[in-house]
Amino acid sequence: MFVFLCCVAGSRPADAADEVSLPISRELLSHIKYTPEQVQALAPPGPLIASKDLCISAVYHAVGNLPIWVTDEGPSERAAIALRFLQSAAAEGLYPEDYAVPEIIRLWPLRSPEDLALLDTLLTYNLLLYAHDVSYGQLESRSTNPKIFHDTGRQDFDPLAAMRSIVAAPDLDAHLASLPPVHRHYRALKTALQKYRELAAAGGWQSVPSGRTIRPGEIDPRIPAIRIRLHITGDLETIDHSDTFYDESLKKAVITFQKRYGLDPDGAIGNQTIAAMNIPAKRLVSQIIVNMTRWRWQAHDLGNRYVLVNIAGYNLKVVEQDEVVLDMPVIVGELENQTPIFSDLIRYIDFNPYWVITRSIASKEELPRLRQNPRYLVDRNVRLYSSWDQDAVELDSTTINWHAISPEQMARYKLRQDPGPLNALGRMKFIFPNRFAIYMHDTPKRDLFSQSTRSFSHGCIRVSDPIALAAYALAGEKQDWTVEKIKATIDSGRRKVVNLSAPLTVHLTYQTTWVDKEGSIHFNRDVYGRDTELSLALLEKNNNLNN
């Protein structure tokens, strides 16, 4: 407490006399609603920052009811820095109005003890709220849907510790600037947000009328409008004529646009492509903000070497020193079995793995098929065991009357698929132990990777080039794990588990908007419908962004 008080005192102007702050300190008492005992007794189950009165009471009790940001001469230089960050909250996809900026500005020139005390408390609480939101995401989304947005906000956010860091920071500007994520994915979206806000402020673009599909080489009266639309967002560099002929330069621009929006890049301007062109600029601004918010839920420093899986983009990238060294399509969980967002470490690779079928899959999927075909397990090299116990015995699945087995009884059996070409996990899996039982693996269903929508799994991630991923993960091992050795290990048909001496970081994200290494922004489909819920939670009061 003494150290904290000294830090606070050190943040005030050196020429501020003690008696000068006494009138302000007296006025501060009217804003401190609770005693220290009441703060402790009334502390909410969630973060203290969620209650303004409790938070203010706790902070000012800790500093002896002294002002933090003002003297009788007005706001300090550090107060001006704090206000500047609150005013520029929009650059981070936040809203200055949420942090009482209009009221703070109104009070700024006033000098009565009452006004200065109120200004001090507003700066204190709203800077803490900003620090929380820009670091971890707003609490509103968690209360809207705790199941989906369980990672937003920090339930253990400590306002006293945060204020201690703010007060102790020798360079407050640098300290506040360090609060958002530091990686390039967030920074690139921040730049894109500014660009699309400028586009929206300039009026965005006119809608392209719907109609028949336009193919290269055809003539259509909508072609000039399409050229203008694509030129505004940089997909078409120049407009050198205004005729209605669909030429090669426009085809190239259309394909670029289709790639950015996760559409089949066939160059045909159909209903889906036109619908994407007609998404208002204001709505894209909202989408960028939503995705910046999601980045705050995860590690702010992703590391120098990591695997990044974008669930919404059906994509896996390996990033090293900010450079993408591996890029491949993936398959993710279907709507009923959504792949979760989290970070972990890939600790080992399992070659020629067994697939132990979960109780849920066994009851919901395997049992109905066994009722139709008693040889269903045998034909797929799946063994049936009497229970999940270690002393369970193997049973002949063809001798059981599956029509007499209930789903509850089915869950008591253990089903395990042998390694081989039919194994649902393919020839290898990448394990990062986690509470969701999610991992990455190969798959025998290679044809699914060519589809533009790839949400087919039960939650795990199927990778399209597991050999390349394994070669990268094993590159630092003592044994020389060449591609040839990996293939030979697979071809042996024998299970082999290889532990990584240096576990590889993996981040599972859900980004419907991202910026690629060339600087192009992508707007993809919201495969799990999460953008709408999060947008409503965060942006509903900002109707101008949701039109």
Instruction: Express each pLDDT in 43-95 by its tens digit.
Output: 877 788 888 999 999 999 998 889 999 999 999 999 999 999 999 999 999 99
Model confidence at 153, pLDDT cuts 50, 70, 90, reads low
pLDDT tens track for 110-138: 999 999 999 999 999 999 999 999 998 87
Strand partners, 327: 317
What mean pLDDT, rounded, does the chain reach?
A: 89
Q: Contact, 183 vs 177, CB < 8 A?
A: no
In the prediction, which pLDDT does 144 show? 52
Q: Angle 106-133-51 (CA atoms, 0-180°, nearest 5)?
A: 70
Strand partners, 326: 318
In the prediction, which pLDDT does 155 show? 67
Q: Would you tell me how many other CB atoms lie within 10 Å of the CB of residue 195?
A: 15
In the prediction, which pLDDT does 274 show? 97
In 3D space, the residue among 272, 83, 92 whose CA is nearest the CA of residue 172 turns out to be 83
**235 φ, ψ to 5°?**
-70, -35
Q: Would you tell me how many other CB atoms lie within 10 Å of the CB of residue 361?
A: 15
**Cα atoms in the Cβ-side hemisphere of radius 13 Å centred on 208:** 27
Secondary structure of residue 54 in the 3-state scheme: helix
The encoded tokens of residue 248 equal 């090669």
Q: Contact, 388 vs 324, CB < 8 A?
A: no
pLDDT tens track for 320-358: 998 899 999 999 999 999 999 999 999 999 999 999 999
Q: Contact, 332 vs 339, CB < 8 A?
A: yes
In the prediction, which pLDDT does 147 show? 55
Query: Over pLDDT 70: what percentage of the chain?
Result: 92
Measured distance CA(433)–CA(442) in Å, rounded: 17
Strand partners, 307: 318, 506
Per-residue pLDDT, averaged over 383-402, amounts to 94
In 3D space, the residue among 527, 518, 451, 522 whose CA is nearest the CA of residue 258 turns out to be 522
Has residue 4 got a pLDDT over 90? no
Has residue 9 got a pLDDT over 70? no
Per-residue pLDDT, averaged over 523-544, amounts to 75
In the prediction, which pLDDT does 539 show? 60
Secondary structure of residue 254 in the 3-state scheme: helix
**Non-local CB neighbours of 406 within 8 Å, separated by 6+ positions:** none
In the prediction, which pLDDT does 19 show? 45
In the prediction, which pLDDT does 146 show? 57
Distance of CA 158 to CAs 56, 225, 452, Å? 12, 53, 44
547 vs 471: which has the higher pLDDT: 471
Has residue 105 got a pLDDT over 60? yes
Contacts 24+ apart (CB under 8 A), 8-15: 8/63, 8/66, 8/68, 8/167, 9/66, 10/167, 11/68, 11/76, 11/78, 11/167, 12/67, 12/68, 12/71, 12/76, 13/71, 13/73, 13/76
